[in-house]
Amino acid sequence: MSRRIATLAVLALLCAVPLVVRDDYYLHLFIVSGIFVVAVLGLDLIVGYVGQLSLAHAAFFAMGAYTSALLFVRLQWSMWLGLPAAALAVGFAAFVLGGVILRTRGHRFIIITVVFAELMKLVATNWVDMTRGFMGLPGLALPKLSLPGLGSLDITAKSHFYYVVLLAAIVAFLLCRALVRSSIGRKFVLVRENEPLAESLGISAFRYAMIAFVAGAALAGAAGSLYAHYVGFVSPDLFNFSYVTIMLIMVILGGKGTLVGPALGAVLFTFLPELLREASHWRMITFATILIVATLFMPKGIVYPLVAYLVPRRWRLSDAHAA
């Protein structure tokens, strides 16, 4: 009962944001955070739940952005079509890639994901006929929302697009929650904690890692599509390693293996770099230090334990903490 109240309260708060926050700049940050929430929830599936460190996630994000952008520019597909298309396309790419690399374990897996990301960057940069290389694809517009009988809504205003992103983030959260609470999710954790035992029980680590990998990539692709249409522009910079690092920071410091952790991490680590604009190098040095220290001493992350401390148990939305 109180859990329902808590959920509604949080939802109400989230919906109220554009009404309370009139400043477009902060709304912009909320929107970007929301997009990253979708992306890092996906990353958490493979990193937190299955326990494989994939550094290809930012590449999936960028690939989703490019897919959606290309469909818009060449076929005039609006974001409503582009987003699911991007999710499917990237999910499929992850399926193919996973088939090749998910049997590898250990460090080799991690490095291959890096190589894959770099290769995708090279393609985006050099396949100029398709992607316009460094010039990128500009002019990506946000679509209108046409509801039959209600006419069409213009969602290009930040305060309106916020709700689209909020919806996406909530949907992503619910999907992930359903997944991790299901028997599939339990098998994720078993594979992570004790792979030989899982195998002996007939649970194929490869199969479950693949599920997480593809689902995560699809989420990243969807997030990429949102990002592309919101920013209005894609370029090969999206493949830079800096996106990988920030996503990892969001997941790890947020609390891998939970859902709320990375989601909050996404918000925190979108706002923090912007608020600390002045201190550019010190900012990154601090983040890196926190990452090292947190990894060494705080494997549950920083944000999630903090939230767990602040929020009384009966108000908590999910106990999907399986770290």
Partner 1 sequence: MKSLRLVVAVAVSLAAAPFALAQETVRIGVVQPMTGPVAYDGNIYVNTVKMLADDINAKGGVLGRKIELVVEDGACNPAQSVNAAEKLVVRDKVVGLLGAFCSTSTAAVMEVAKKHKVPLITGISTAAQLTEQGNPYFFRAVATTPMLGNAFGPVLPKALKAKRFAFLTLNDDWGRSMQASYPKAIESGGGQIVANEFFQQSDLQFLSQITKVKAANPDAIVLAANTQQAVALSKQIRELGVTAPLVGEGAWSSDSYIKLAGPAAEGVYGLVEYVYTIKSPVNDAFVKEFQAKLKENPSKFAGAAHNAIHIMVDAIRRAGAADPEKIREAMERTDYNGLVGNIKFDAKHQAYGQTVYLSLVKNGVPEVVETAQISKAQP
Partner 2 sequence: MSASLTILAQHLLNGVLIGCAYALIAMGLTMIFGVMNIANFAHGEFYMLGGFVAFYLVSLMGLNYFAALPVAVAAVVALAIILQHAIFRRLREAPMMTTTLVTIGLSIFLEHVALLLWGPQPQSIPTPFPTKPLSFFGVYTTPLYLFCMAVTAALIVVGHVVIRRTRMGKAMRATFQNKEASALVGIRIDRIYAYAFAFGAALAAAAGAVLGGFIPVEPATGGIVTLKAFIVVILGGMGSFVGAIVGGLMLGLAEALGAGYMPTGWKDAIGFFAVILVLLFRPEGLFKRV
Segment 97 to 126, residues that bind partner 1, using CB under 8 A: 125-126
Handedness of CA 126, 132, 133, 137 (dihedral sign): negative
Q: Provide the H-helix boundaries in the chain.
A: 2-20, 24-44, 57-75, 79-101, 106-126, 128-131, 158-181, 183-193, 195-200, 205-231, 241-255, 260-275, 280-297, 303-310
Q: Give the whole-angstrom CA distance, residue 224 versus residue 263.
A: 16
Q: Which is nearer to partner 1, 185 or 224 (CB)?
A: 224
Which residue stretch of 16-24, 52-60, 92-100, 193-201 sits at the interface with partner 1 (rule: CB under 8 A)? 16-24
Q: Does 296 bind partner 2 (CB under 8 A)?
A: yes
Q: Does 138 bind partner 1 (CB under 8 A)?
A: yes
Q: Does 194 bind partner 2 (CB under 8 A)?
A: no
Residue of 114, 175, 231, 298 interacting with partner 2 (CB under 8 A): 114
CA distances from 172 to 37, 176, 227 (A): 8, 6, 15
Q: Give the whole-angstrom CA distance, residue 55 versus residue 121.
A: 13
Q: Which is nearer to partner 1, 20 or 147 (CB)?
A: 20
- Torsion angle defined by CA atoms of residues 69, 74, 79 and 82, in that order, rounded to the nearest 10 degrees: -80
Q: Which is nearer to partner 1, 104 or 125 (CB)?
A: 125
Q: Are the beta carbons of 124 and 66 closer than 8 angstroms?
A: yes
Q: Does 47 bind partner 2 (CB under 8 A)?
A: yes
Q: Which is nearer to partner 1, 24 or 319 (CB)?
A: 24
Q: Does 46 bind partner 2 (CB under 8 A)?
A: no
Residue of 5, 167, 288, 311 interacting with partner 2 (CB under 8 A): 288
Q: Which is nearer to partner 1, 214 or 223 (CB)?
A: 223
For residue 201, the minimal CB distance to partner 1 (Å) is 40
Exposure string of 266-296, with b = 16+ CB inside 10 Å and e = fewer, is bbbbbeebeeeeeeeeeeeeebeeeeeebee
Q: Give the whole-angstrom CA distance, residue 150 versus residue 46.
A: 41
- Torsion angle defined by CA atoms of residues 315, 249, 218 and 124, in that order, rounded to the nearest 10 degrees: 160
Q: Does 231 bind partner 1 (CB under 8 A)?
A: yes
For residue 61, the minimal CB distance to partner 1 (Å) is 12
Q: Give the whole-angstrom CA distance, residue 104 versus residue 176.
A: 25
Residue of 106, 139, 148, 149 interacting with partner 1 (CB under 8 A): 139
Strand partners, 154: 144
Q: Does 319 bind partner 1 (CB under 8 A)?
A: no
For residue 288, the minimal CB distance to partner 2 (Å) is 4
Q: Which is nearer to partner 1, 225 or 235 (CB)?
A: 235
Q: Does 285 bind partner 1 (CB under 8 A)?
A: no
Q: Are the beta carbons of 266 and 144 closer than 8 angstroms?
A: no
Q: Does 239 bind partner 2 (CB under 8 A)?
A: no
Q: Does 51 bind partner 2 (CB under 8 A)?
A: yes
Q: Does 314 bind partner 2 (CB under 8 A)?
A: no
Q: Which is nearer to partner 2, 85 or 102 (CB)?
A: 102
- Torsion angle defined by CA atoms of residues 68, 231, 267 and 109, in that order, rounded to the nearest 10 degrees: 40
Residues that bind partner 2 (CB under 8 A): 47, 51, 53, 100-101, 104, 106-108, 110-112, 114-115, 118-119, 122, 126, 241, 245, 248, 252, 281-282, 284-285, 287-289, 291-292, 295-296, 299
